[in-house]
A and B are shown apart, each in its own frame.
Chain A
Amino acid sequence: DSGVTQTPKHLITATGQRVTLRCSPRSGDLSVYWYQQSLDQGLQFLIQYYNGEERAKGNILERFSAQQFPDLHSELNLSSLELGDSALYFCASSVGEYQPQHFGDGTRLSIL
C-alpha cells in the first residue's frame, strides 16, 4: 500500500461528458502529480502541484484541468470527453523534488 488513494477505481461514461478524478496523497507529501497511461503512449506526465500551486505542466489537453486543495488532496477534471481519453489515470505524491514519487492504483476511465 503506497498510501496514495485514488477514487473512483473505475469510471464509465459517454463522449461529451465531464468527470472528476480524486487523489489523496501520502501523509506529509506536499507534491501531487497526475499521469495518464494509454495503450499507445505509455505513462505520460500531465501536471504537478506543490502545496496548492501549479508547478509543472506536461502535454495536458486544454479540456483537462486540475487543482490541489488546502488539505492537499487533488482533483483532475476531464471535460468534453472523447473516445481517445480512455486510459488509466494515476496520481502520485512525493515529499519534494528529488524524492521518489509514490503512485496510487489509478482510475480506469472508459469512454463509450
Chain B
Amino acid sequence: DQQVKQNSPSLSVQEGRISILNCDYTNSMFDYFLWYKKYPAEGPTFLISISSIKDKNEDGRFTVFLNKSAKHLSLHIVPSQPGDSAVYFCAASAINAGNMLTFGGGTRLMVKP
C-alpha cells in the first residue's frame, strides 16, 4: 500500500520554463511534507518543506503547494535550470509516528538547455 505516490516517473522541460512535480498521499495523518532532490551516487538533498497548517511555502526558485482536501502537493521550480536535472522525491511524516519519512517513488526531471 503506497501511502505517498508520484505518478509521473519522468518530466522533461525547457530551460527557463516552469517545472511542476506532483505528489499524492493517502494517509490523512500526514502533517509534514518535504521535497528532496537526488543526483546519482549521492544521498537525497533537502529542498523545501511545508507543514499542514500552511498551503504554500517559498524558497528562492522553489515553491511547494499543499492541498489538504485533495491530499496533493506540488513542487514548482521557476525558472528551471539544467542543473536542476535530478530525481525528485516527495516525503511525508505524521506527528504520531515520530519523524519517520514515507517517500514517493520519485520523478526524474530533465531540463533541456
List A residues at the B interface (Cβ < 8 Å).
2, 4, 6, 31, 33, 35, 42-45, 48, 55-56, 58, 90, 92, 94, 96-106
Sample of 18 further A-B pairs with CB below 8 A, known A33-B101, A103-B46:
A2-B43, A4-B43, A6-B43, A31-B99, A42-B104, A43-B44, A90-B44, A94-B99, A97-B95, A97-B99, A98-B32, A98-B51, A99-B99, A100-B49, A101-B101, A102-B46, A105-B42, A106-B43
Residues of chain B within 8 A (CB-CB) of A92 are 43
Which parts of B89-109 form the interface with A (CB within 8 Å)? 89, 91, 95, 97-106
Is A100 a contact partner of B51 (Cβ separation < 8 A)? no
A81 CB to nearest B CB, Å: 22
Q: Which residues of B contact A44 (CB under 8 A)?
A: 103
| B99 CB → nearest A CB, Å | 4
**Interface residue SS majority, chain A:** strand
- Residue B34 is within 8 A (CB to CB) of chain A in the complex: yes
Q: How far apart are the CA atoms of A105 and B98 in the complex, in Å?
A: 23
Interface size class of B (residues with CB under 8 A): 20 to 34
Residue of A nearest to B100 (CB): A45
Verify A48–B45 contact, CB threshold 8 A. no
Assuming the contacts A2-B45, A106-B43, asked whether A101 and B103 have C-beta atoms less than 8 A apart, the reply is: no
Q: Please tell me which one of the listed residues A33, A56, A104 contacts residue B97 in the complex, with CB atoms under 8 A apart.
A: A56
Interchain CB contact under 8 A, A105 and B43: yes
Interfacial residues, chain B to chain A (CB-CB below 8 A): 32, 34, 36, 41-46, 49, 51, 89, 91, 95, 97-106
Question: What distance in Å separates the Cβ of B46 from its nearest Cβ neighbour in chain A?
Answer: 4
Query: Which one, A90, A101, A104, contacts B46 given CB within 8 A?
Result: A101
Select B98's contact among A4, A6, A55, A106, beta carbons within 8 Å.
Answer: A55
| Contact assessment for A101 and B43 in the assembled complex, using a CB-CB cutoff below 8 Å | no
Q: Is the CB of B46 within 8 A of A105?
A: no
Which of B34, B44, B51, B105 has the largest count of A CB atoms less than 10 A from its CB? Answer: B44
Residues of A with C-beta under 8 A to B32: 98
CB closest chain-B residue, reference A99: B99
